[in-house]
Amino acid sequence: MIHNDWDDILSNEFSKPYFKELTARVKEEFKNYTCFPPISDVFNAFRLTPFNAVKVVIVGQDPYHNRGEAMGLCFSVPKTVSIPPSLINIFTELKNDLGFEIPKSGDLTHWAKEGVLLLNTIMTVRMNQPLSHKGIGWQTFTDEVIRILDKKPEPVVFVLWGTHAKSKKILLSNPNHLVIENVHPSPLSSYRNFFGSKPFSQINQFLTKNNLKPIDFNLNQKDKL
């Protein structure tokens, strides 16, 4: 299904009755409604960030529900799409924290390839209906993914922005890991200490301290030439 080490790690989960019911429900939803992300992109986060490569987990809620925006990575949008407000705030904090200019694109594929698992806990949605797939089984699946990641012996940073993401802290108990909690970067809450929180430098300081290569958060391609 995923074509990397996640297939073996999640094989037991894929065989459970709830996941088979979830799969059938998702297929039915995509057949009868316009849903996002495209069915081929639903597991993008796992494909782009193999289990053994995960250094950071950013927890989102559900995909963007407007046409053309969702791409299977939380907060990320394709290069051709305008950058959503929450992501603009993330980029603003990135500039304030690490000094990188705000990118012209909201595509976070580079972060995923650097080892940042961009995980929406609800992985599909109907068009224009946020949280429409909340009760169909995705959260059972992604809660187990978070538990599995918590068991990694290598240090991992879990980034929990907003009430929904912070509710997942109960799944985390490994003292080897770092948990960063804050308000959601949306315009409704970002003014409450999101700006100035320096999550990106916290992540890289923790990784460096644990002898792991820091994440290259720079999304400006001209700086990579």
Q: Cα separation of 57 and 55, whole Å?
A: 7
Q: Nearest 10 degrees: CA dihedral of 189, 65, 48, 134?
A: 80
Q: Cα separation of 197 and 212, whole Å?
A: 22
DSSP string, 93-149: HHHHHH-PPPPS----HHHHHHTEEEEESS--EETTBTTTTTTSSHHHHHHHHHHHH
Q: Cα separation of 58 and 120, whole Å?
A: 8
DSSP letter at 82 equals: P
- Crossing angle of helices 85-98 and 199-209, in 10° steps, is 60
Query: Out of 62, 97, 107, 150, which one is annotated catalytic?
Result: 62
Cβ 55 vs Cβ 207: under 8 Å: yes
Cβ 164 vs Cβ 121: under 8 Å: yes
Q: Cα separation of 42 and 74, whole Å?
A: 11
Cβ 44 vs Cβ 71: under 8 Å: yes
Q: Is 41 a catalytic residue?
A: no
Q: Which residues are marked as active site?
A: 62
